Amino acid sequence: MEDLSQEEWASQLAEDKNAVVLDVRTDSEVADGIIPNAIHIDIYKGQEFINELEDLDKEKNYYVYCRSGNRSGQACNIMEQLGFENAYNLEGGMLEWTGDVVDKD
Protein backbone atom coordinates (compact mmCIF):
# COMPACT_ATOMS: atom_id res chain seq x y z
CA MET A 1 0.00 0.00 0.00
CA GLU A 2 1.24 3.43 -0.88
CA ASP A 3 -0.14 6.83 0.10
CA LEU A 4 -0.02 9.19 -2.85
CA SER A 5 -0.58 12.93 -2.92
CA GLN A 6 -3.38 14.24 -5.12
CA GLU A 7 -0.87 15.10 -7.87
CA GLU A 8 1.00 11.77 -7.69
CA TRP A 9 -2.26 9.78 -7.66
CA ALA A 10 -3.73 11.64 -10.65
CA SER A 11 -0.56 11.56 -12.78
CA GLN A 12 0.23 7.91 -12.00
CA LEU A 13 -3.40 6.95 -12.73
CA ALA A 14 -3.31 8.78 -16.08
CA GLU A 15 -0.25 6.74 -17.17
CA ASP A 16 -1.42 3.36 -15.80
CA LYS A 17 -2.98 1.07 -18.41
CA ASN A 18 -3.72 -1.54 -15.72
CA ALA A 19 -5.58 0.82 -13.38
CA VAL A 20 -8.87 0.44 -11.56
CA VAL A 21 -10.33 3.32 -9.53
CA LEU A 22 -12.10 2.19 -6.37
CA ASP A 23 -14.46 4.40 -4.33
CA VAL A 24 -15.03 3.04 -0.81
CA ARG A 25 -17.45 5.76 0.41
CA THR A 26 -21.06 5.34 1.49
CA ASP A 27 -23.98 5.55 -0.94
CA SER A 28 -24.94 9.00 0.35
CA GLU A 29 -21.38 10.29 -0.18
CA VAL A 30 -21.27 8.84 -3.70
CA ALA A 31 -24.53 10.67 -4.48
CA ASP A 32 -22.47 13.89 -4.41
CA GLY A 33 -20.37 12.63 -7.33
CA ILE A 34 -17.76 10.04 -8.17
CA ILE A 35 -14.41 10.07 -9.98
CA PRO A 36 -15.04 8.96 -13.61
CA ASN A 37 -14.97 5.18 -14.20
CA ALA A 38 -14.67 4.36 -10.49
CA ILE A 39 -16.07 1.14 -9.03
CA HIS A 40 -18.05 1.78 -5.85
CA ILE A 41 -17.77 -0.68 -2.95
CA ASP A 42 -18.79 0.72 0.47
CA ILE A 43 -16.17 -0.19 3.09
CA TYR A 44 -18.84 -0.06 5.82
CA LYS A 45 -20.49 -3.18 4.37
CA GLY A 46 -18.05 -5.34 6.37
CA GLN A 47 -17.90 -8.91 5.09
CA GLU A 48 -19.81 -7.96 1.93
CA PHE A 49 -17.03 -5.42 1.21
CA ILE A 50 -14.43 -8.19 1.54
CA ASN A 51 -16.50 -10.53 -0.63
CA GLU A 52 -16.73 -7.89 -3.37
CA LEU A 53 -12.99 -7.24 -3.16
CA GLU A 54 -12.34 -10.97 -3.57
CA ASP A 55 -14.18 -10.82 -6.92
CA LEU A 56 -11.73 -8.21 -8.27
CA ASP A 57 -8.65 -9.01 -10.38
CA LYS A 58 -5.64 -8.98 -8.02
CA GLU A 59 -3.31 -8.35 -10.99
CA LYS A 60 -4.70 -4.83 -11.51
CA ASN A 61 -3.43 -1.63 -9.89
CA TYR A 62 -6.05 -0.10 -7.59
CA TYR A 63 -6.40 3.62 -6.97
CA VAL A 64 -8.53 3.84 -3.85
CA TYR A 65 -10.27 6.88 -2.40
CA CYS A 66 -12.87 7.94 0.16
CA ARG A 67 -13.95 11.30 1.60
CA SER A 68 -10.75 12.18 3.47
CA GLY A 69 -8.22 9.40 2.83
CA ASN A 70 -8.81 7.52 6.09
CA ARG A 71 -11.14 4.70 5.03
CA SER A 72 -9.32 4.30 1.71
CA GLY A 73 -6.11 3.73 3.68
CA GLN A 74 -7.90 1.02 5.67
CA ALA A 75 -9.25 -0.45 2.43
CA CYS A 76 -5.73 -0.57 0.96
CA ASN A 77 -4.50 -2.44 4.06
CA ILE A 78 -7.37 -4.94 3.76
CA MET A 79 -6.61 -5.38 0.06
CA GLU A 80 -2.95 -6.03 0.85
CA GLN A 81 -3.99 -8.75 3.35
CA LEU A 82 -6.18 -10.30 0.63
CA GLY A 83 -3.23 -10.54 -1.76
CA PHE A 84 -3.57 -7.37 -3.85
CA GLU A 85 -0.08 -6.21 -4.76
CA ASN A 86 -0.76 -2.64 -5.86
CA ALA A 87 -3.18 -0.43 -3.94
CA TYR A 88 -2.68 3.33 -3.89
CA ASN A 89 -4.42 5.52 -1.34
CA LEU A 90 -5.49 9.04 -2.32
CA GLU A 91 -4.27 11.32 0.48
CA GLY A 92 -6.92 13.89 1.38
CA GLY A 93 -9.62 11.99 -0.51
CA MET A 94 -12.51 13.77 -2.17
CA LEU A 95 -12.17 16.71 0.23
CA GLU A 96 -9.02 17.75 -1.63
CA TRP A 97 -9.77 16.26 -5.07
CA THR A 98 -9.60 18.84 -7.86
CA GLY A 99 -10.01 16.45 -10.79
CA ASP A 100 -13.15 15.46 -12.65
CA VAL A 101 -16.27 14.30 -10.79
CA VAL A 102 -19.37 12.83 -12.43
CA ASP A 103 -22.78 11.72 -11.20
CA LYS A 104 -22.96 8.03 -10.36
CA ASP A 105 -24.87 6.10 -13.04
First to last CA, the chain: 29
**Considering 1, 22, 35, 66, which one is annotated as catalytic?**
66
The whole-angstrom separation of Cα 33 and Cα 31 is: 5
The whole-angstrom separation of Cα 79 and Cα 67 is: 18
Does 66 qualify as catalytic in the annotation? yes
The whole-angstrom separation of Cα 84 and Cα 59 is: 7
Any idea which residues carry the catalytic annotation?
A: 66
